[in-house]
């Protein structure tokens, strides 16, 4: 069986996570798009911590007989991996976009330089 204290700590920690994420969204420091996975993490952990029979049953399915809270760790780890993987895809996309911006800037600068050189000098009063 899951010790009661573990469940209490789990519930508090999950609620804290959810509150922090919501506050970051509210303060516009986190985009909803990137917050969804974190919120899902918090909710799943909250449900598994509060629903003690559920955690024991799932642990039974997975063959974790001696210490059901280990399932909490496993689920948390899985979600962290998901979030990190998601970030890797985001970084890859940003990298590509960044290079393309640099390339366009180089092309435009060359063009502006050429146009500026061919323009008649501005009249001087």
Partner 1 sequence: MLGRMVAIVPAYNESGAIGRVVDEIRDFDPALDVVVVDDASADETAEIAAAHGATVLRLPFNVGIGGAVQTGFRYALEHEYETAVRLDGDGQHDPRELPKLLAPLERGDANLVIGSRFVDPGGSYRPPFARRVGIRVFARLVSVLGGQRVTDTTSGFMALDGVGIALFAEEFPHDYPEVEATLVALRSGLRLAQVQVEMRERETGSSSITFVRSVYYLVKVTLALLVASLRRYRRLEGARR
Interaction residues for partner 1, span 61-100 (CB under 8 A): 95-96, 99
Closest C-alpha among 11, 21, 76 to residue 47: 11
Nearest-approach distance from CB 106 to partner 1, in angstroms = 4
Nearest-approach distance from CB 92 to partner 1, in angstroms = 11
Q: Which of 8, 78, 110, 112 binds partner 1 (CB under 8 A)?
A: 110
- Plot region of 124 (φ>0 → left; ψ -120 to 50 → alpha; else → beta): beta
The rounded distance, in Å, linking the Cα atoms of 71 and 62 is 9
Closest C-alpha among 87, 10, 9, 1 to residue 43: 10
**77 vs 92, which CB is nearer to partner 1?**
92
Q: Which of 109, 115, 120, 122 binds partner 1 (CB under 8 A)?
A: 109
122: which DSSP letter?
P
Q: Which residues bind partner 1 (CB under 8 A)?
A: 95-96, 99, 102-103, 105-107, 109-110
């Amino acid at each position: 069986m899951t010790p009661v204290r573990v469940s209490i700590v789990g519930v508090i920690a999950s609620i804290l996570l959810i509150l922090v994420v919501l506050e970051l969204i509210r303060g516009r420091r986190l985009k909803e798009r990137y917050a969804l996975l974190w919120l899902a993490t918090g909710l799943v952990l909250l449900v598994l911590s509060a629903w003690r029979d559920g955690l024991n049953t799932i642990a039974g399915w997975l063959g974790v007989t001696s210490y059901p809270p280990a399932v909490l760790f496993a689920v948390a780890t899985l979600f962290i991996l998901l979030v990190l993987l998601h970030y890797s895809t985001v970084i890859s996309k940003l990298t590509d976009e960044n290079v393309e911006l640099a390339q366009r800037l180089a092309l435009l600068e060359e063009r502006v330089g050429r146009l500026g050189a061919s323009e008649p000098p501005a009249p001087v009063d």
